[in-house]
Amino acid sequence: MIIIEICIGSSCYVRGAQNVVEFVQNIIKEEHWEEKVTVKGAFCMGLCSSGLGVKVNGEPVIGVSLADLDGKLRHVIQREVS
């Protein structure tokens, strides 16, 4: 099981963390990964200065931005699932 933690701390929240949550939920649905991927909310991960806070299986994903969700974040999740 892949665990994706998405920060909903105040800094990430005001920078659009809800969009990250929706993006991840949408790709899980599109790719039929419901049995493979779990999404959890989390508080500050200390990643505020390097992008939006996301961890995949406990590993920080550095540099997550709303502008590049479909590139970087999708790639990281696909790599973990396959």
Q: Would you say 37 and 4 are in contact if contact means Cβ atoms under 8 Å apart?
A: yes
CB of 47 to ligand FES, least distance (A): 4
In this complex, which beta carbon is closest to ligand FES, that of residue 4 or of residue 53? 53
The interface with ligand FES within residues 9-48 (CB under 6 A) comprises 9-12, 44-48
Cβ–Cβ contacts within 10 Å for residue 18, how many?
A: 12
Residue with Cβ nearer ligand FES (49 or 82): 49
Residue 40: CB minimum distance to ligand FES, A = 14
Identify whether the C-beta of residue 61 lies closer than 8 Å to the C-beta of residue 71: no
Q: Please give the order of strands across the beta sheet that includes 2-7.
A: 37-42, 2-7, 54-56, 59-60
Binding site for ligand FES (CB under 6 A): 7, 9-12, 44-48, 53
